Amino acid sequence: MARMQAKTSHNSPSQQVPEASARNGSHSPRNGPTHEQIARRAYELFLSRGGSHGRHEDDWLQAERELRLGR
């Protein structure tokens, strides 16, 4: 029996895979602070509170706010 092959275009725009940054919604460093910058600032905030545990999310969010506003 003869096989029939479906015509496919390997270069069609609808089949192209988007870049990683577009797929996962991550931002380039130009669009905001990097993960490392936020982590460092959050750690500074943690230390400024005397190193007391339990507020890591607050520290992280505060660090993001400060860095986005350029403080």
Does the pTM exceed 0.85? no
Does the structure show a pLDDT above 60 at 29?
no
Confidence of residue 68 (pLDDT cuts 50, 70, 90): very high
The residues spanned by each domain of the chain are 32-71
HSE of 32 in the Cβ direction (CA atoms, 13 Å)? 11
- What's the whole-number mean pLDDT along residues 21-46? 77
Report the range of poorest mean pLDDT among 12-16, 35-39, 43-47.
12-16
Closest alpha carbon to 68 in 25, 30, 33? 33
Max avg pLDDT among 4-8, 33-37, 67-71: 33-37
- What's the whole-number mean pLDDT along residues 49-67? 96
